[in-house]
Structures are given as C-alpha cells and as structure tokens.
Structure 1
Amino acid sequence: MAIATLGSVVLDCPDPNALAGFYAALLGGVVEESGDDWVELNGAPGTQLAFQAAPDFVPPQWPRPDASQQFHLDLTVPDLDTAEREVLALGARPLDTEDRTRSFRVYADPAGHPFCLCAGQ
C-alpha cells in the first residue's frame, strides 16, 4: 500500500504566471493563481503542475556533470518535428536536438528547466 499519492510537480521560477502560460499552451489546461507567489495549471491531462516564485532562481545547467539538472519532464508527442516547431514558437530553446535518429529531443522551458519531447502515440 502506498503512503502517499503525487499531488503536483512544482517548478521554481522567477515568473510563475509566465511559466504557467508556457505549459498551458504546451499541455492545455487553465492557469489559476493561488496566491502571490503560487500558480497552478489545472485541467491538463496527467499530474498537476504548479509554479512557485523564486526570485533568486538559477536555472539548471544541462548537461553538466558538476551541476544538478534537478529534474526534467518527459512529454510524449505524436510527431517530434511538429512538436519541436510549436515549443520553439512558445519560447523553449533547444539543449540537445542534433541527433534526429533518437526518439527524444531535449529543450529548456523559458525559465531554463530541461524537458524532453518523446516520440509516442
């Protein structure tokens, strides 16, 4: 029997509203402010994402053996090329996208968190 269930994945960032808007455009859902420094993305399929203000936020460096990437999101998409164009238009930046034979590509969201687009159905 599990002790707990996963309620949400929380991302520290300098601007919770802006980052929530990025993920709402990427995943769907509705951005809802829950306080001065806290924003949630509700109604998107899967585990809820929340965004917490961190004024001194330093984005993870990927890949760096001497710096932690902290965590990353794997996002399944039906077509990598189409999804890549769309996330770049939303403000993502490529981190590791050169090898087009792989089933995934690595990007950073506008606050610098790494995420992967993964080929799926």
Structure 2
Amino acid sequence: MAINTLRSVVVLDCPEPGKLADFYARMLGGRVEGEGRWVEVTFDSGTLAGRTLAFQEAEGHVPPRWPSAERSQQFHLDLYVPREELDAAEREVLELGAELLEGDDGGRRDFRVYRDPAGHPFCLCTG
C-alpha cells in the first residue's frame, strides 16, 4: 500500500520565488499563483496541464554550478522544442533572463544548456 500520493510538482529553492516563478511562467506559458516564500506556476492547457512548478525561498541559497562536482546541479529540467524553433526559443529564454552555458556544438547535439536567473540549469532539447 502506498503511504501517500506523489503530487505532480517540482520545487526549486531560490532567493526570490516570485521573480523565478515569473521567469518560468513566461517561458512555459503558465500562471503565477501566490507570493512570499512559496510561489507556484500552474498550467491549464497543453502538455503541462495539471502540473505545477513551485519556488521556495531559501535563505543563503547557493546556486548549482554546471558542470561541477562541488556544487552539482542535483537535477535539471529538459524542455523540448522543435529543431526549427530552437534559435527563436533561445532568443526568448535569453530575453527572459536565462544565460547560455553550453551550445549544441554547431547542431551536432540535440540540446543546449542554460542557467535560469537563480542559477538552476535547464536544457532546450530537440531530440
């Protein structure tokens, strides 16, 4: 028997939950709910419908460093986009405040690695 039910939610520690929630809501087409130390992004339609990303204030937050054994990423999000839309998607995430960490090696790989405004790595993937 299961002890409980796993909610469809991922929680990211960060210094400013509202700011990071806004970044992901704008990037993924979600809605920011709440304020303060815990903020959520919810999705009403598409492939993320019914899922939640949550952002929790963490005092003294030390962002992961990718790649690094000393400050490992611990997890990352893979976000899929059609290959023909990858360059446009990259422009959008950079305008929202992401930072490119590693390109796709001139199209030889099917992903590019970025850092969100709080330092968490994520990938735009075409595979």
Matched ranges for 1:1-121 at <5 A: 4-33=5-34, 36-43=36-43, 45-46=47-48, 47-78=51-82, 79-97=85-103, 99-100=105-106, 101-119=108-126
Which runs of 5 or more residues in structure 1 are unaligned? none
Query: C-alpha distance in 2, partners of 1:98/1:30?
Result: 30
Higher strand share: 1
Deviations, residues 4-61 of structure 1 (Å, cap 9, x unaligned): 434200000000000000001100111011x631000012542310000012100001
Q: How many residues align?
A: 119
Query: C-alpha distance in 2, partners of 1:43/1:107?
Result: 22
Which runs of 5 or more residues in structure 2 are unaligned? none
Query: C-alpha distance in 1, partners of 2:36/2:71?
Result: 30
Deviation at 1:98, TM superposition (A): 5.4
The letter of the residue matching 2:118 is A
8 Å CA contact 2:104–2:111 kept in 1: the answer is no
Query: C-alpha distance in 2, partners of 1:49/1:11?
Result: 8
Query: C-alpha distance in 2, partners of 1:106/1:29?
Result: 22
The letter of the residue matching 1:99 is D
Query: C-alpha distance in 2, partners of 1:39/1:109?
Result: 16
TM-score (norm. length: structure 2): 0.85
8 Å CA contact 2:18–2:36 kept in 1: the answer is no
- Of all paired residues, the percent bearing the same amino acid is 60
Query: C-alpha distance in 1, partners of 2:7/2:113?
Result: 24
Query: C-alpha distance in 1, partners of 2:125/2:104?
Result: 14
The letter of the residue matching 2:112 is R
TM-score (norm. length: structure 1): 0.89
The letter of the residue matching 1:13 is C
Query: C-alpha distance in 2, partners of 1:67/1:111?
Result: 14
